[in-house]
Amino acid sequence: MHALIRELFPVCRSITGDGFRTSLRRLSAIVPIELHEVPSGTRVFDWTVPKEWNIRDAWIADAKGRRWVDFKMSNLHVVNYSVPVRTRLPLAELRPRLFTLPEQPDLIPYRTTYYHEDWGFCLSQRILDQLPDGEYDVCIDSSLEPGHLTYGECVLPGAIEDEILISIHSCHPSLANDNLSGMVVGATLARELSAVPRHHTVRVLFIPGTIGSITWLALNEAAARRVRHGLVLSCLGDPGRPTYKRSRRGDALVDRAAAHVLQMAGAHAIRDFIPYGYDERQYCSPGFNLPVGCLTRTPNGEFPEYHTSADNVDFVQPAALENSLALTESILEVLEHDATYVNLNPKCEPQLGRRGLYRNTGGATAPTSEMALLWVLNLSDGGHSLLDIAERSTMRFGTIRRAALELERVGLLRRRDSSERGRV
Amino acid sequence: MHALIRELFPVCRSITGDGFRTSLRRLSAIVPIELHEVPSGTRVFDWTVPKEWNIRDAWIADAKGRRWVDFKMSNLHVVNYSVPVRTRLPLAELRPRLFTLPEQPDLIPYRTTYYHEDWGFCLSQRILDQLPDGEYDVCIDSSLEPGHLTYGECVLPGAIEDEILISIHSCHPSLANDNLSGMVVGATLARELSAVPRHHTVRVLFIPGTIGSITWLALNEAAARRVRHGLVLSCLGDPGRPTYKRSRRGDALVDRAAAHVLQMAGAHAIRDFIPYGYDERQYCSPGFNLPVGCLTRTPNGEFPEYHTSADNVDFVQPAALENSLALTESILEVLEHDATYVNLNPKCEPQLGRRGLYRNTGGATAPTSEMALLWVLNLSDGGHSLLDIAERSTMRFGTIRRAALELERVGLLRRRDSSERGRV
Amino acid sequence: MHALIRELFPVCRSITGDGFRTSLRRLSAIVPIELHEVPSGTRVFDWTVPKEWNIRDAWIADAKGRRWVDFKMSNLHVVNYSVPVRTRLPLAELRPRLFTLPEQPDLIPYRTTYYHEDWGFCLSQRILDQLPDGEYDVCIDSSLEPGHLTYGECVLPGAIEDEILISIHSCHPSLANDNLSGMVVGATLARELSAVPRHHTVRVLFIPGTIGSITWLALNEAAARRVRHGLVLSCLGDPGRPTYKRSRRGDALVDRAAAHVLQMAGAHAIRDFIPYGYDERQYCSPGFNLPVGCLTRTPNGEFPEYHTSADNVDFVQPAALENSLALTESILEVLEHDATYVNLNPKCEPQLGRRGLYRNTGGATAPTSEMALLWVLNLSDGGHSLLDIAERSTMRFGTIRRAALELERVGLLRRRDSSERGRV
């Protein structure tokens, strides 16, 4: 995954345009992704799909022709969505259009002007401080014209039409953790899932942030109503501990599944929903209120490299990417396999020993596998699912699930049909 | 407010009598207070309004005429409600009637004998230890005769008949924090409230402790049933952190409002109801169970100056009084303005930028004002009030309220009519 | 109680057999215990009552006749339920049948083979390491034949048929804390209870672990349905702090009563139910789900002496036994006397002073006894029981109960009839 991040890093992505398309076509080599094109001007709820933006070059040069700021060195140098410009002006007039990070003087910030036609440059404070007075030639060789907004979709059909939604914003230019890490983890996850039978239909979306999820929701309300569980993925490669931000509901199955998986995995953080962050803002708007949480390592805005040129390929660690993928898969294991079983021998414990499931010699303490059997038997009253049992026993969902399958095999447990409601 | 405490400090108040009347007439210069007179002997639930007590002088003098204890030096010296006495007796017989604080040997305690006809004196342990053996002349020039119990009421009509009750016991003699601080904060609060439009009717009661609230409740059951929110005020001038004691209900709006205001304000304490303290004991008796909490700084009995001569004018700090007034006003702001709004654009976020409510340049973190807008939009599903939103966002109620008014102004929010019930 | 433990310690108990019978007959000198005999082969839910085991002697001797392991020195030396053996075999063949505790090299472990016909010995690692190579004579002079499983029952009838169940496993050989401490505390408790009038019927069971509770439940389903509250007792003599393990329900009255009593008593631990431990595993199986918790000091498996020869008479402390008995009695006091009262003067406080229940001189802080009266009056709205009030006031149940009886005496409180339902 890290090699792919390295490969995609130089591409200048935005919420529309060829950089976005190029990136998704490259991901399609991992898992087939269908690209959808939505024309500029399309009304999507309160918003309008913007004009398409493309850029070829941009620079600021002094009177001697020396280029102080150059898009070819870093695509962060141009304010994303800047209108085309070709002009000469004195430093004093240029200055209000130059964005820096005075407290991180070596870094270039990432700035955008999607919904307000304007232009500007981002550069390090160090360079800004060196700019001699005088006239500057400014060039932004971009285009902002009617075109399309693109989004990518990988739909993996399951046994049921109910969906698990994985949503990944893919519109940031040369930023590695936010959002290339999410893109490569999401594509790899989709490839893994495509190789196994699925209970739920899984939909992986690669979209531009905010306007992309709004557009998808506006054009796919029926599909949105089928979403039973969802995760927004981003910032999955930094060295921080994994962090799960709950859905607006707070107690959805995905919230409990993610909390369980992270608790079992070690150091982590669980946070309540706030209406700021990534596309969970839209999925969790009150008119949808979908059970969609957000999995990151260090959340947006909380690592110093966030939205700067320091969020680069070196900041992202292969081990963190692998761990993030494994955590996501473990969460999906819960979503796919949580079920309720009924103990067919509910009065007292069954004699596990004569079924080969219990030690012959008594007196010493029970091993984990026996504890899992006892927990499943004790709580399988029709009112507790496997996740309920995993939570209450503080044992891993996988361990509890294996115990349930074992007990089902020897006829002590029966999987409850989804048509049976309420507690027995 | 501090100057008024200084002025009222020397007056010898009690649960009846002219000291109480004099004090309330002085407060009437700040805000009009109506005085009610209830005759001695009136049955009020399980109690009877006692005889009226008045006192002119009291002293203990030795055989040489030296006054060792003198009411004119401190009205705490006489046990409040002592019957008239004029006698001579040896120290050994006098001793059982002398109250001191052996562990605070320089202080005079405050003691009462309201419901048991008796007499006694309070003095410092230091003086008691110096009393030479011998005969003493004792004088208590008081009267205990049929008369009236007085209470004061300032009713400020609002748009609705539902009431906010502010209750302040005003029966303590020369004690500054308990209860002069409550009296001056309450009167100042009433003056402020009288100058603005009110949603609720506000009733500020100045009453003698225990018997006063029992009397008011017995004679005003209909008004009591209109109380939607209430606060008992006392001990508002000491340097301790603010403390809110919840109503017996524990989750009334006033409990949540006070907890929110105090949390936003910094160091504070929130406590559960106990059936001891001030007049909340009566308002929260099971037959009424009114949503009345109690706001103090350091609660009764928990500061060493409590019910002693050290609870004097110097113990009360002007800044603490001002802060207590401000906190009370903030609690009332919540009670007056909490309301539920409905997001008129519930599917995805509305585009705030084109309404001038959002930054044009993206990439940096959202300021507080934008966060408030996002919180209000996200939670205004008809099931969350402004206080709900303030609590969940941990933003100030005032900030959340301003955001709601802003969104209402641009047509994105509608105030929910009180006739609309349940969640949308 | 400690003397009786000393007396019963040498007896070789097991889940069946004469050691068990002898022990219960000795306890019958304290309180009458009825012995029930259930034939081997009886089906009890998923289990079958095993053959009866009895043992006279067992040893391992080397070729020179030296006895390295001798049942007469400690009955832990033989794996409990070993089949009869008389053979000679080399050390290499004997070794897999020898159990030690390598990390506690001086101690003999306790091991059993109830449900798998086999034989073996337990010894210290120290002895095992000294065994010279060569042939060994092995003797286990036991019998395993059709017979009976014995259990003891002491039923103390109460005013109602609803039952409190006290269950004590009594099947361990020379182990003092687990389970002799439970046996002597249980018998002493039964004797104390037999001397006073009881509201509930109290049933004290002395049973073999696991198979005993399964047998009792299978043969007494009707009685099991009458159990309203229950406690499993074990490990009550070690110097650790008292520990209560909640029933599977978690919020049964016995759970609340035990938590309250332990909280009032000082250092303690409260734990959630897990389906491992003692006979609460069976009582709390989902087909019964009885409100049965477990009171111990240090729980099973958590003290280093557990299931070893170090769990001996010296490990058990008289003071701990007395304290455990007192705690159990306090829990039963709550179960027996919890009730709901109604304040007959619910509007404001009644005037306690004129009933002799309140100080005459006011101004100082209320003593505990007055606080208890105020709590009972305030919360006796028909919706709070005495335990509710004790919990909320953090006052002892006994103090609250005495206050209620006092208020009932002066006509301020009425005990609510059990036919009155819901909150007033």
- A357-407 confidence digits (pLDDT tens): 988 777 777 788 899 999 999 999 999 999 999 999 999 999 999 999 999
Q: What was the pLDDT predicted at B419? A: 65
Distance CA A179, CA A9 (A): 10
Distance CA B303, CA B107 (A): 14
Residues B258-287: pLDDT tens digits?
A: 999 999 999 999 999 999 999 999 999 999
Q: Among B361-375, C293-307, C345-359, whose mean pLDDT is lowest?
A: B361-375
Distance of CA B81 to the CA centre of its chain: 23
Rg over CA atoms, chain A: 26
The CA distance from B255 to the nearest CA of chain A, in Å, is 23
Q: What was the pLDDT predicted at A421? A: 52
Residue to substitute from A340, A342, A344, A347, interface C, most C β-carbons within 10 A: A347
Taking CA atoms, what residue in A is nearest to B380?
A286
Does B346 contact A at CB distance below 8 Å?
yes
Residues B318-354: pLDDT tens digits?
A: 999 999 999 999 999 999 999 999 999 999 999 999 9
Residue B49 and residue B40 in contact, taking contact as beta carbons nearer than 8 Å: yes
Distance CA B163, CA B165 (A): 6
Residue B365: pLDDT over 80: no
For C96, which DSSP code? G
Q: What residues 353-412 of chain B have any CB closer than 8 A to a CB of chain A?
A: 353-354, 360-366, 371, 374-375, 377-381, 392-393
Contact yes or no for C363 and B274 at CB 8 A: no
Q: Quick one: tokens of B394? A: 């941990």
C375 interaction partners in chain B (CB closer than 8 Å): 274-275
Residue to substitute from A116, A171, A282, interface B, most B β-carbons within 10 A: A116
Residue indicated by tokens 């409002």: B257
A213 interaction partners in chain B (CB closer than 8 Å): 348
Residue to substitute from C107, C121, C276, interface A, most A β-carbons within 10 A: C276
Tell me what ipTM this predicted complex has: 0.94
Find chains touching chain A: ≥3 CB pairs under 8 Å: B, C
Q: Quick one: tokens of A290? A: 């979908």
Taking alpha carbons only, the member of B206, B216, B286, B281 closest to residue B245 is: B281
Q: Helix axis angle, A386-393 relative to A368-379, nearest 10°?
A: 130
Distance of CA C211 to the CA centre of its chain: 16
Strands C67-70 and C52-62: antiparallel
Q: Helix axis angle, A253-265 relative to A318-337, nearest 10°?
A: 130
Contact yes or no for B374 and A276 at CB 8 A: yes
Average predicted confidence (pLDDT) for chain B: 96
Contact yes or no for A347 and C248 at CB 8 A: no
Residue spans of beta strands (DSSP E) within A306-351: 340-343
Residues B388-406: pLDDT tens digits?
A: 999 999 999 999 999 999 9
Taking CA atoms, what residue in A is nearest to B344?
A287
Strand partners, C88: C137
C353 interaction partners in chain B (CB closer than 8 Å): 115-116
B307 interaction partners in chain C (CB closer than 8 Å): 363-364
Residue indicated by tokens 């889940």: C15
Q: Quick one: tokens of A320? A: 């963190």
Residue A424: pLDDT over 50: no
Which H or E run contains C87? strand C85-90
pTM beyond 0.80, yes or no: yes
Residue C54 and residue C40 in contact, taking contact as beta carbons nearer than 8 Å: no
Residues C247-300: pLDDT tens digits?
A: 999 999 999 999 999 999 999 999 999 999 999 999 999 999 999 999 999 999
Does B179 contact C at CB distance below 8 Å?
no
Does B349 contact A at CB distance below 8 Å?
yes
Report the amino acid identity of residue C15: I
Report the amino acid identity of residue C21: R
Residue A420: pLDDT over 70: no
Q: What was the pLDDT predicted at A422? A: 47
Strand partners, C154: C204
Q: What was the pLDDT predicted at B423? A: 41
B340 interaction partners in chain A (CB closer than 8 Å): none
Taking CA atoms, what residue in A is nearest to B412?
A46
The CA distance from C350 to the nearest CA of chain B, in Å, is 5
Taking CB atoms and an 8 Å cut-off, how many pairs form between chains B and C?
A: 89
Taking CA atoms, what residue in B is nearest to C375?
B275
B222 interaction partners in chain C (CB closer than 8 Å): none
Residues B61-118: pLDDT tens digits?
A: 999 999 999 999 999 999 999 999 999 999 999 999 999 999 999 999 999 999 999 9
The CA distance from C211 to the nearest CA of chain A, in Å, is 10
Quickly list DSSP for A148-196: EEEEEEEEE--SSS-EEEEEEE---SS-IIIIIIHHHHHHHHHHHHHTS
The CA distance from A83 to the nearest CA of chain B, in Å, is 14
Contact yes or no for C348 and B285 at CB 8 A: yes
Does B262 contact C at CB distance below 8 Å?
no
Residues B331-341: pLDDT tens digits?
A: 999 999 999 99
A365 interaction partners in chain C (CB closer than 8 Å): 301
Which H or E run contains A164? strand A163-169
3-state secondary structure (DSSP) of residue B43: strand
Residues 6+ apart with CB under 8 A from C3: none
C-beta neighbour count of A316 within 10 angstroms? 28
Q: Quick one: tokens of B65? A: 């005429």
Average predicted confidence (pLDDT) for chain A: 96
3-state secondary structure (DSSP) of residue B350: coil
Q: Return left, alpha or beta for A165; rule: phi > 0 is left, psi -120 to 50 is alpha, else beta.
A: beta
A9-29 b/e (C-beta count within 10 Å ≥ 16 → b): bebbbbbbbbbbbebbebbbe
C-beta neighbour count of C355 within 10 angstroms? 16
Report the amino acid identity of residue B296: T
Nearest by CB to residue B287, choosing from C347, C351, C361, is C347
State what percent of residues in chain C have pLDDT above 70: 98
Q: What was the pLDDT predicted at C423? A: 41
pLDDT, mean of residues C311-316? 98
Quickly list DSSP for C98-111: EE--TTSTTPPB--
Q: What was the pLDDT predicted at A367? A: 84
Distance of CA A82 to the CA centre of its chain: 27
Residue B113 and residue B83 in contact, taking contact as beta carbons nearer than 8 Å: no
Nearest by CB to residue C307, choosing from A363, A375, A381, is A363
Contact yes or no for B360 and A118 at CB 8 A: yes
The CA distance from A306 to the nearest CA of chain B, in Å, is 10
Residue to substitute from B13, B44, B45, B217, interface C, most C β-carbons within 10 A: B45
Residues 6+ apart with CB under 8 A from C66: none
Distance CA B91, CA B105 (A): 19
A353 interaction partners in chain C (CB closer than 8 Å): 115-116
Question: Measured on CA atoms in the order A339, A340, A343, A344, is the torsion positive or negative?
Answer: negative
Residue A103: pLDDT over 90: yes
Q: What was the pLDDT predicted at B424? A: 39
Distance of CA B84 to the CA centre of its chain: 32
Q: Quick one: tokens of B181? A: 């601080």
Q: What was the pLDDT predicted at A423? A: 41
The CA distance from A379 to the nearest CA of chain C, in Å, is 7
Contact yes or no for A346 and C284 at CB 8 A: no
Nearest by CB to residue A378, choosing from C214, C218, C248, is C248
Residues B165-204: pLDDT tens digits?
A: 999 999 999 999 999 999 999 999 999 999 999 999 999 9
Which H or E run contains A363? none
Residue C159 and residue C197 in contact, taking contact as beta carbons nearer than 8 Å: yes
For C179, which DSSP code? I
Q: What was the pLDDT predicted at A364? A: 76
Q: What was the pLDDT predicted at B301? A: 94
Q: What was the pLDDT predicted at A200? A: 97
B343 interaction partners in chain A (CB closer than 8 Å): 286-287
A360 interaction partners in chain C (CB closer than 8 Å): 113, 115-116, 118
Contact yes or no for C361 and B111 at CB 8 A: yes
